[in-house]
Amino acid sequence: MKKTIVYAVLTLLILSSFSNVNQTKENNDQIKNSANDTLIFKSGYSEVNGIKMYYEIYGHGKPLVLIHGGGSTIQTTFGRIIPMLAQHRQLICVELQAHGHTSDRNKDLSFEQDADDVVTLLKNIDVPKADFFGFSNGGTTTIQIAIRHPEIVDKIILGSALCKRNGVPIQFWDFMKQAQLDNMPVQLKEAYIKVAPNPNDLQIMHDKDVKRMVNFKDIPDEQIESIKAPTLIIIGDQDIIKPEHAIEMHREISNSALAIIPGVHGEYIEEITTLQYHSKEADFVIPMVENFLNRLETKK
């Protein structure tokens, strides 16, 4: 039976994470003093479907694949929670086509291609099955992995994932049609420039991300309903994703649970553009995530 966890009264949605956020000195200090600086990890590249795909591996235990959001890197999406998750899991963190360290191909971005790339990478590094945690665009990629490659999926966590165009306010699509690089959060721009093989490709990455969203098509109901993997759906109560959309996903994925957390898009994992809120939701969200993963394992 489905279980719904509601942590707050639903409020009006905002598009805050898509606005240009000024990075404060305190935020800079937080990033510089990240616990990731002291974590031992290994990194590498793998030849994946015509691109050189970058990955990082932390910790030991059952594999959990982390898939970042649009315009982001491993660290901008997951940097604050990697130390928490790595205590009990082997984390396989990836950067997708044209993002972060990973090279581009002469082809538009698609969630289906990203899904195939992640699965190919896992095969290349001898990971036959894993749990997956995707945030935002990475959540939609995780949905495609569960649909296209169910044999490699154990459990999935969908953080602010989108399945349908009506899953976000209509003004989101108007914004995407007019999106400019100047409106991209400065934290994401700086992170890309710091690690990309060619920092001058920032505009290309931005434009490809925008084009993918402008052309986004609904994932058919029958494909969503085909997902059998145990699923945890998470959104913020002030997320870009409508609560109604998250509830509908919860209803369509038979073995799913839903958590609505106070905060904006990504605040529950302390995504880099949300550090200005000084929130600590990750302190209870990550234990909830671990409980979800471990509880389902013990029921098998």
Residues 236 and 261 sit within 8 Å (Cβ to Cβ):
yes
CA distance 225 to 278: 37
Strand order in the sheet with 231-238: 3-6, 256-264, 231-238, 153-159, 130-135, 63-67, 90-95, 51-58, 41-48
CA distance 124 to 46: 7
Tens of pLDDT along the chain (300 residues) come to 444 333 332 322 333 333 333 333 334 334 333 445 668 999 999 999 999 999 999 999 999 999 999 999 999 999 999 999 999 999 999 999 999 999 999 999 999 999 999 999 999 999 999 999 999 999 999 999 999 999 999 999 999 999 999 999 999 999 999 999 999 999 999 999 999 999 999 999 999 999 999 999 999 999 999 999 999 999 999 999 999 999 999 999 999 999 999 999 999 999 999 999 999 999 999 999 999 999 855 444
Residue 37 has what pLDDT?
A: 60
Residue 295 has what pLDDT?
A: 82
pTM for this entry: 0.88
Q: Which tokens sit at 281?
A: 């939701």
